[in-house]
């Protein structure tokens, strides 16, 4: 039985002619959704929160199944949520997430098996609070991966096996995984996932993948994996971008570099931060800043000038993705509407951000029309 290939089978100033075009794009997308519009290019996905299922938000779920043909759980399958203690598993939300994807013939992405964040610190410790041995840690990882992947075998199409284990400064991130088990924990994680579901598409996923140092390190890492026979099939490029950075040429260089390894490229966690930041576009979870009005300037709505920039940014991104459709399997937004976006609270809690294609009332924005319009 061959491994499933993870690919789908299934700025504008609004005035005058532009308004008519936008209306036409909206009408077309109303009938089809973005997933259908792009089905011959790559799948279009969104991250769905556990809250959406626990609250049975049928309106939002209807929007998801209309617009997208791929889904990723935002948090429900992260270690701390699904496996909060060594002998405790919480599958309820994960099961509902998978059932929703199957019922709607969607490609289902599992996120994430091994990460240094959102994981119980006790897995790295013994009963006295000291660091566990390498052997014990790898046994705990084996139990986690084997149990989780086996439960959804044949249902989840792809797994983010390892997440964010590289830094531009140091190469390998000095996480507890690395400090206790060394870099081979990654090899082991991919082998375990493959053994549990040999047909599943397995990815390494990271942010800041346009950084030349990180890009070069990941390419070298992948080539080393391939020489050793590590079963890796794709690279996830997290797309946490801002209005002005990174430059499109740098994004393109990374797509080309990762594709040169022979692996499929996935654009994961896509959003566009429109607010001022003290950092360049990054998803480093340790980055935090105190709230200030200066960092939260658009509480009453997005000014037209900024909305135009957001629209143009998304249009340019999708033009690039279409140019490289032969290399890209999937483009997944990190959330569906602005109201659910993590960017309202990161890196500054309590801000009003506008990073996605649907507004807080769940209506398509100008950026949505621009992305849909590229397929008209």
Distance (Å, whole) CA 214 – CA 238: 13
Task: List, by residue number, the catalytic residues.
Answer: 269
DSSP string for residues in 99-112: HHHHHTT-EEEEEE
What is each CA distance from 105 to 102, 216, 226, in whole angstroms?
5, 36, 32
Residues 6+ positions from 328 with CB-CB distance below 8 Å: 41, 42, 255, 264, 265, 266, 267, 321
Strand partners for 318 = none
Bridge partner residues of 48 (DSSP): 73
Report cis status (omega within 30 of 0) of the bond before 112. Answer: yes
Eight-class DSSP state of 338: G
Instruction: Give helix 304-323 / helix 366-373 axis angle, nearest 10°.
Output: 30
The half-sphere exposure of 171 on its side-chain side, counting CA atoms within 13 A, is: 7
Q: What sign has the CA pseudo-torsion 137, 214, 239, 241?
A: positive
């Amino acid at each position: 039985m061959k491994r499933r290939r993870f690919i789908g089978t299934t700025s504008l100033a609004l005035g005058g002619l532009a308004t008519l075009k936008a209306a036409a794009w909206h009408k077309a997308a109303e009938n089809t959704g973005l997933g259908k519009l792009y089905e011959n290019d790559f799948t279009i996905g969104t991250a769905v929160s556990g809250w959406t299922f626990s609250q049975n938000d049928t309106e939002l779920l209807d929007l998801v199944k209309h617009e997208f043909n791929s889904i990723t759980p935002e948090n429900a399958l992260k270690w701390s949520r699904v496996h909060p203690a060594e002998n405790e598993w919480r599958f309820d939300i994960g099961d509902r997430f998978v059932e929703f994807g199957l019922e709607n013939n969607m490609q289902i992405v599992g996120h994430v098996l091994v990460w240094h964040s959102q994981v119980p610190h006790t897995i790295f410790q013994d009963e006295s609070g000291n660091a566990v041995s390498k052997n014990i840690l790898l046994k705990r990882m084996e139990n986690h991966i084997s149990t989780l992947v086996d439960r959804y075998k044949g249902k989840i199409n792809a797994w983010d096996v390892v997440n964010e284990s590289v830094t531009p400064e140091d190469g390998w991130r000095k996480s507890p995984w690395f400090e206790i088990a060394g870099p081979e924990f990654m090899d082991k994680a991919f082998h375990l996932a493959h053994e549990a579901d040999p047909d599943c598409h397995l990815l390494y996923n990271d942010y800041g993948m346009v950084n030349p140092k990180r890009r070069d390190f990941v390419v070298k890492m992948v080539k080393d994996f391939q020489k050793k026979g590590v079963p890796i099939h794709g690279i996830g490029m997290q797309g946490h971008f801002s209005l002005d950075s990174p430059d499109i040429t740098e994004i393109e260089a990374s797509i080309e570099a990762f594709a040169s390894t022979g692996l499929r490229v996935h654009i994961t966690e896509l959003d566009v931060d429109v607010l001022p930041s003290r950092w360049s576009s990054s998803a480093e979870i340790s980055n935090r800043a105190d709230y200030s009005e200066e960092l939260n300037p658009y509480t009453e709505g997005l000014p037209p000038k900024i909305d135009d920039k957001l629209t143009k940014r998304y249009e340019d991104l999708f033009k690039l993705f279409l140019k490289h459709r032969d290399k890209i399997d999937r483009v997944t937004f990190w959330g569906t509407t602005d109201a659910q976006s993590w960017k309202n609270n990161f890196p500054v809690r309590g801000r009003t951000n506008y990073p996605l294609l649907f507004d807080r009332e769940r209506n398509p924005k100008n950026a949505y029309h621009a992305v849909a319009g590229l397929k008209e």
